[in-house]
Chains A and B, each alone.
Chain A
Amino acid sequence: MIRSVFEQRLSSLKQNWPLQFSTLVVVTSCYLVVIISFLLSQNLQKILTLWGNDLQMTVYLNEESEPSEVQLLQEKIRENKNVGRVKLITKEEALKEFRGQMASYAPDLLTHGDILNLIPASLQISLSESTAGMEHLKILDALASVLKSEEIVSEVSYGQDWVKKYSQLIFYFQRACEAIGIIILGAALFVLSNVIRASVQSRRQEIEVLELIGAMPSMIRLPFLVEGASIGFLSSVLAVTISYLMYSGITGMFEKQLQFLQLSGHLSFINTLVIIFFCSIGTGLGAIGSYLCVRQINDGWAAKSL
């Protein structure tokens, strides 16, 4: 029937609820920004991988290349363990395909005999399944520079430009997200710490009395740590929930309005492990925020106003 000191103190903390509520809103917003930037960079990365996997390399061969030389080059390329498939497309095949594509646009064009000479033979190279998107580009770059030095190779193309630009964009975006994340978490820590400081100030009289009658410092501090950790925990759970709702809304849009992008199956929410990790960080941040300002209490407040 007698409430423990701890219970009494927790219930006395509850009187601060307007302040605690606004903190909850602010900290939740901070956490939300962090989750959203994480989600964005994770999914942009996924799209990059997806597109990177589609990359193929076309190696155009010189007019005067001998079939034996071509054979040799093919074997050489196959030695590279990242290469999955190498396919020779002869002039005739290339022309046939070109004709097929062009027939409806310019039927006249194709009657010219010398057009045959304009379309070179080529090797189509695709990488093995096991390599991941980002490495793809690096492997292709390396392979291209090797192949360019071959005499029978006239040109190498693999759509490097736009993939490179996209991957660079993602790189900078991710760095920006990391920076924003750190700044925002710092801000959240600051906000939390200040709220606890306000809470400590408003409970000053209580702390003085507890000091005076010999309460252990840990007993004085614990309720504030609990307060900070609770705000941190609630905020992270709220932020995860809100971001999940936003995510569902957006993927729904990809499924309906933006179906042509064919992305919906490839996007994903942060996984459970990351959610748990994030909530622990969020909770921990709350506890740290409050520890930062309660560690200096119990150093004789009661005495100062004696």
Chain B
Amino acid sequence: MIEFSHVYKTYPGPVHALKNIDLKIAKGEFVFLTGPSGAGKTSLFKMISAFDVATSGLVQVAGIDLSRLNENKVAEYRRKIGVVFQDFRLLKDRTIFENIALPLQIRGDRSQQIQRRVQEVLEQVGLSHKYDQFPDFVSGGEQQRTAIARAIVHQPGVLIADEPTGNLDPKLSEEIMDLLERVCSQGTTVFVATHDQEMVRRRKKRRVDLKDGLLVGDQ
């Protein structure tokens, strides 16, 4: 599903953020990405979400070579993936329902369909009762669940989450991780970057380690 081969990323400076990354993640897998701050986790995710291209090497997701996409193709590609951030990225002037509905709306689904699917996802993340609230008026955990709901509402093949629990307390973090595992169990490939070594150890999933831009561990 996700494939990196001989990928280098060099920022002006030069900063060698990623060096010779070779990585393969199969469909439906759940993988943690760990490493100290500055190791290159976000750089790697930027490539998967097509916000950046590799300086050299090949990045493929679902068979698509991400270096060859034009503006519109990038948009099209992003509709096939889901992205979750540490800081939620919700629109404050829209309700939770409207936030979650966005990916379906932009691809032009009919409102009945949208209604049905969003309700389904709201149930899945346990937010049915908060659908008409605005993001500023719900808890951090609820905001992150909304963000995850938005990232999975269009049933993407890949879900990437860059430190999705970075702003949450341990209990909420566990909840979010449980949710991500459930998403994975429904067939979505889930790739999660985190600092939280403790949690990674407990979860017993495949884990990829980055250090100074090098892939130093994969187990």
Contacts and interface: CB of A to CB of B under 8 A. Distances in A.
B5 interface: no
A206 B91 contact: yes
B154 to A, nearest CB: 8
Interface in B69-83: 71-72, 74-80, 83
B54 to A, nearest CB: 14
Contacts of A12: 93
B52 to A, nearest CB: 6
B106 A217 contact: no
Contacts of B77: 214
Contacts of B189: none
Contact of A210 (B72, B92, B98, B106): B106
B52 A213 contact: no
A298 interface: yes
Contacts of B71: 217, 298
Interface string B102-137: 110111000100110000000000000000000000
A227 interface: no
Interface string A270-306: 0000000000000000000000000000101011001
A215 interface: yes
A214 B78 contact: yes
B78 A209 contact: no
Contacts of B105: 2, 4-5
B76 A306 contact: no
Contact of B72 (A1, A3, A15, A216): A216
A208 B72 contact: no
Nearest to B86: A306
A8 to B, nearest CB: 7
B142 interface: no
Nearest to A6: B105
A210 B74 CA distance: 12
B157 to A, nearest CB: 13
Nearest to B82: A213
Which residue, B89, B150, B162, has most C-beta atoms of chain A within 10 A?
B89
A3 B45 CA distance: 32
A302 B51 contact: yes
A212 interface: yes
A302 B85 CA distance: 10
Contacts of A217: 71-72, 75
A219 to B, nearest CB: 7
A161 B66 CA distance: 75
A8 B51 contact: no
Nearest to B84: A212
Given A5-B106, A212-B89, 19 more contacts: A2-B98, A2-B105, A2-B114, A3-B98, A8-B94, A205-B91, A209-B90, A209-B102, A212-B49, A212-B78, A212-B83, A214-B80, A214-B107, A215-B75, A216-B106, A219-B106, A303-B46, A306-B51, A306-B162
27 contacts: A1-B111, A2-B101, A2-B105, A2-B111, A4-B105, A8-B94, A8-B98, A12-B93, A205-B92, A208-B89, A210-B102, A211-B78, A212-B49, A212-B83, A213-B78, A214-B74, A214-B76, A215-B75, A217-B71, A298-B71, A300-B51, A302-B51, A302-B89, A303-B49, A303-B52, A306-B45, A306-B162
The 6 closest A-B pairs by CB, nearest first: A303-B51, A214-B78, A214-B79, A2-B111, A213-B103, A300-B51
